[in-house]
Amino acid sequence: MVKITFECNKSIAYYDNKKIGECDFIENKDVWNIVHTEVDNAYQGKGIAKKLVECVIENAQKQNKKVIADCSYAKKVIERMK
């Protein structure tokens, strides 16, 4: 089972305690800019990248931060959520 955690400036996906994906952001005042999302090739196509981006967005909302994305994948996820 995949576990998504939120840590300092990133969300991380683990499978059996092995890191399989990550979504990184840069915080600038009240804006979080997602700059990179990556999932190990063996685990792609399972919706993990989307969950990583959603995790960052959920945590940003809890802290009243705006989310933008330079990462093309995260940008697509954000647009679909509007």
Confidence of residue 22 (pLDDT cuts 50, 70, 90): very high
Q: How many residues does the chain have?
A: 82
Q: How confident is the model at residue 82 (pLDDT cuts 50, 70, 90)?
A: confident
| Separation between Cα atoms, residue 64 and residue 57, nearest integer Å | 10
Distance in angstroms (rounded) separating the CA atoms of residues 36 and 72: 8
Per-residue pLDDT tens digits for 26-72: 999 999 999 999 999 999 999 999 999 999 999 999 999 999 999 99
Q: Which residues pair with 7 in a beta bridge?
A: 10
Residue owning tokens 């400036």: 9
Q: Taking the model in full, what pTM does it have?
A: 0.96
